[in-house]
Amino acid sequence: MRDRGEPSAKALPSAKALRTPRAAGAAGILAALLLGGAMILVRRAIPEHPLGATAYLADISGHNALRLALILLPFGGVFFLWFMGALRDCIGVREDRFFATVFLGAGLLYVAILFVFGATARAFVVTIDAMKGTIPPAGLSHYGRYLTITLLTEYAPRMAGVFTLTTTTIVARLGLFPRWLVLAGYLVGLVQLLLVSRVAWSEIVFPVWVMVVGFVLLTLPADRIDARNTPER
């Protein structure tokens, strides 16, 4: 027999629904700031046009920017995972299994590729530090540049594009987001999938989208997400 002081089962989902959008919004904003800042620093550290090995080893400010980016990157990934979990909880029991699988897979792969990029770039920085005062191999700086740029502008953004398109489709079906944000989500997803390797700096649009979604979740009315606890018939 249930104790009189224990909250009813109907009261629990309602209280949780009021907290979840704000948690998702805060995590999304923090993830966007950290990931966006890391991407900008990486672009600053790795020039668009390759430098000679000697000139690249002498670019101390670029190396410091890359080190700072590698500090921000893991925290951005952690907050992005919180953003994913809170956003999925906001969707609730009406979550479709197909879209949920793609949503989780793309988001987790995006974070995994970012961490692989961070480990690779860290190894490259340590190698550069160890070679100071020596004549570096001709292809070292070019290999490190192409490897890090490829991870950042080829593979991670495409997983971000799949995540964006899937998330936008889910929230559009549930009517959680305004129409302008749904259209923006599809546009961002297509840019990440099709144009990111051709247009410099276009990977930045993903953290910008995450930040906008975070602000929308912070201001989302409670009645907009009440339907998440009502399964479709």
Q: What is the pLDDT of residue 167?
A: 93
HEC profile of 94-122: HCCHHHHHHHHHHHHHHHHHHHHHHHHHH
HSE-up of 99 (CA within 13 Å, CB side)? 18
Q: What is the pTM of this model?
A: 0.80
C-alpha–C-alpha distance, residues 89 and 200, integer Å:
34
Q: What is the pLDDT of residue 146?
A: 77
Q: What is the pLDDT of residue 133?
A: 63
C-alpha–C-alpha distance, residues 76 and 147, integer Å:
21
Q: What is the pLDDT of residue 115?
A: 92
DSSP assignment of 71-90 equals HHHHHHHHHHHHHHHHHHHH
Residue with tokens 């949780």, as numbered in its chain: 16
How much is the CA Rg of the chain, to the nearest whole Å? 21
Q: What is the pLDDT of residue 233?
A: 46
Domain ranges of the chain: 18-217
Each residue's pLDDT expressed in tens, for the chain with a length of 233 residues: 445 554 454 444 544 544 555 677 788 999 999 999 999 888 887 766 655 555 666 667 777 888 899 899 999 999 999 999 888 877 776 777 888 889 999 999 999 999 998 888 888 777 777 766 666 665 666 677 778 788 888 899 999 999 999 999 998 888 888 899 999 999 999 999 998 878 888 889 999 999 999 888 888 765 555 545 455 54
Question: What is the amino acid identity at position 147?
Answer: L
Q: What is the pLDDT of residue 1?
A: 47
C-alpha–C-alpha distance, residues 194 and 222, integer Å:
36
